[in-house]
Chain A
Amino acid sequence: MNIFDKNFKDIFFSQLVSLCGGLIAGLMLAIYTDKLLLIPGMLILLPGFLEMRGNISGSFASRLSSGLFLGIIKPNKIKTKIIKGNLAASFFLVLFVSFLLGFLAFLFNYLILKTVIIELIFIPLVAGIIANAIEIPLTLFVTLYLFKKGHDPNNIMGPFITSTGDITSIVSLLIAMVIV
Chain B
Amino acid sequence: MKEIRKHLERLREVKKKHYHPLIHKIHKKHKISKRTLFYVKEYGPHTNVPKTIIKESIKILLFASIISSLGGFALEQVKGIFISIIPLLVLMPVLNSMIGDYGIVVSSKFSTMLHENKVKRKWWEIRELKRLALQIFLISLITTVLSTSIALLVSPFFGYALTTATISKIFLISILDVILLVSILFLVAIFAGIYFYNKGEDPSNFLIPITTSIADFGNMLLLSLLVILFF
Measuring CB to CB, which residues of chain A are less than 8 angstroms from any residue of chain B? 1, 3, 7-8, 11-12, 14-16, 18-19, 21-23, 25-27, 29-31, 33, 37, 40-41, 43-48, 50-52, 54-56, 59, 63, 66-67, 70, 72, 81-82, 84-86, 88-90, 92-93, 96-97, 100-101, 104-105, 108, 112, 158-159, 162-163, 166, 170
Contacts and interface: CB of A to CB of B under 8 A. Distances in A.
Given A29-B90, A51-B96, A104-B66, A44 B212 contact: no
Given A26-B91, A66-B39, A59 B57 contact: yes
A41 B69 CA distance: 10
B189 interface: no
A98 B151 CA distance: 29
Interface stretch (B19-27, B129-137, B161-169): B129-137
Interface size class of B (residues with CB under 8 A): 35 or more
What 5 A-B pairs have minimum CB-CB distances, sorted nearest first?
A: A85-B49, A48-B68, A22-B94, A26-B90, A89-B53
Given A72-B43, A96-B61, A23 B127 contact: no
23 contacts: A3-B135, A11-B105, A15-B143, A18-B97, A22-B97, A23-B150, A25-B94, A27-B154, A30-B86, A30-B90, A30-B155, A37-B83, A48-B68, A50-B93, A51-B96, A56-B57, A70-B35, A70-B39, A72-B43, A85-B43, A101-B69, A108-B69, A166-B93
Interface of B: 33, 35-36, 39-40, 43, 45, 48-51, 53-54, 57-58, 61-62, 64-66, 68-69, 71-73, 75-76, 79, 82-83, 86, 89-98, 100-101, 104-105, 127, 130-132, 134-136, 138-139, 142-143, 146-147, 150-151, 154-155, 158, 212, 216, 219-220
